[in-house]
Amino acid sequence: MWPVGMLVFAVTLLSAPEALAQRPFTVHDPFYQSETARRAFYDGLAATGEVSYRTNTSVTLPSTTPAIGLSFRLHYRLAPRIDLNAFWDAAGTTTGRTIVLSWVGLKYYWTVDGFDYAFRLAVDPASDGRVGFPQLDVAFISTRAFSPILSSDFAVGVRRVRKGFRQFVPAESALVEDGPLVVAPNAPSQFIDTRALGMELHFMWSYNLIFDPAASNLFVSVMGEGGQYSLFETTFEGVQPDIADADPENEKELGATDYRGGVVWMRSGIEYNRPSYQVIPFMSIPLKQWAPEDDELARMQLGLRLMLR
């Protein structure tokens, strides 16, 4: 088994415009992308890193969301049919990037009549002061070989969403009710705190054209994600962006609103397999989007995933 270490990526990509759409779900998800019901590593431990160009991918502090996304994961074999997985994301904040443990999950594998199946349960380990985990993702995955050169992967899952995020609105802008941010020179600075509660549905359907004995393949996938949420917003006026805690006397409830949105993607790339590593360059293109007031949720994504196994 090779020593555990962090993966380092270097990539040169064009800069991207600031993310403006406000939504409670993330269009770059650690799950439902190249997922399979077969274990992808052969020893007791594996590590995966991913770098991607992913505009409009975070609900957190949209003006500072980085276009280059970094994520990491560890895979540990608990038992012959059970894996433990941990996922980290290098999120953008007002002070730069922060490595955040975003998900911890268990994956159970089994085979029936030559078909491979898996069940995955993942939880968000963050504490929000309530009993239980704030977010929960449950998925069913199947893999089928049609011939020596063609296989298919299918995944469907549901997620309970319970997350919060904060947006800083500078003094030269003002929040218009039921509308976008507009210029208002006399408006005070604000923090807009939003809490999203709701449910999401995710799916993935992929076909893989195998071209060597190591099961390297060219894949084409259709993915979908979307949900319905209740958004609870609070604003704090007359504050500066470097102040962590706003004055409660300036707190103002903006009320609750409903939000519905979704994206259907086409994802394609090459999965290059060797016994000690796996490399997946990929491209994702949004085919259809649904959002209030025609907000743009997602744009084309380019990325590279590397697993050391």
- Which residues fall within 8 angstroms of residue 44, CB to CB, at 6 or more apart? 1, 76, 77
Look at residue 148 in the predicted model and tell me its pLDDT: 95
Cβ count near 91 (within 10 Å)? 20
Bigger pLDDT: 58 vs 291: 291
Residue recorded with tokens 């085919």? 287
Please give the Cα distance from 298 to 86 (Å, whole number): 25
Please give the Cα distance from 275 to 216 (Å, whole number): 11
Q: Is the pLDDT of residue 16 over 50?
A: no
Residue 143 lies in a domain: yes
Cα 227 to Cα 5, 65, 146, 184, 192: the distances in Å are 36, 22, 33, 33, 22
Longest alpha-carbon distance in the chain: 70
Residue 215 lies in a domain: yes
With cut-offs at 50, 70 and 90, classify the pLDDT of residue 291.
confident
Q: Which domain holds residue 205?
A: 45-167+194-235+256-308
Q: What is the 3-state secondary structure (H, E, C) of 231-297?
A: EEEEEEECCCCCCCCCCHHHEEEEEEEEEEEEEEEEEEEEEEEECCEEEEEEEEEEEEEECHHHCCC
Residue 218 lies in a domain: yes
Domain at 153, CATH number: 2.40.160.40
Exposed/middle/buried for residue 109 (C-beta within 10 Å: 0-12, 13-18, 19+): buried
Percent helix, strand, coil in the chain, to 5, is 5, 60, 35
Bigger pLDDT: 150 vs 89: 150
With cut-offs at 50, 70 and 90, classify the pLDDT of residue 60.
very low
Cα 68 to Cα 9, 13, 51, 257: the distances in Å are 11, 8, 7, 31
Look at residue 54 in the predicted model and tell me its pLDDT: 67
Task: Quote the mean pLDDT of the chain.
Answer: 77
Give 21-42 pLDDT, tens digit per residue. 345 556 568 899 999 999 999 8
Look at residue 76 in the predicted model and tell me its pLDDT: 97
Per DSSP bridges, beta strands 277-290 and 301-308 are antiparallel
Please give the Cα distance from 142 to 155 (Å, whole number): 6
Look at residue 256 in the predicted model and tell me its pLDDT: 76
Nearest to 140 by CA among 87, 78, 201, 207: 201
Bigger pLDDT: 243 vs 5: 243
CB 47 within 8 A of CB 74: yes
By three-state DSSP, how is residue 64 classified?
helix
Residue 122 lies in a domain: yes
Give 219-268 pLDDT, tens digit per residue. 999 999 989 988 887 776 654 444 444 455 555 666 678 888 889 999 99
Give 150-165 pLDDT, tens digit per residue. 999 999 999 998 877 6
Residue 59 lies in a domain: yes
Whole-prediction pTM value? 0.76
Please give the Cα distance from 77 to 45 (Å, whole number): 6
Q: What is the mean pLDDT of residues 133-156?
A: 95
Look at residue 129 in the predicted model and tell me its pLDDT: 54
Total tally of structural domains belonging to the chain = 1
Nearest to 117 by CA among 208, 38, 223: 38
Residue 242 lies in a domain: no
Percent of the chain scored above 90 by pLDDT? 45
Cβ count near 296 (within 10 Å)? 13
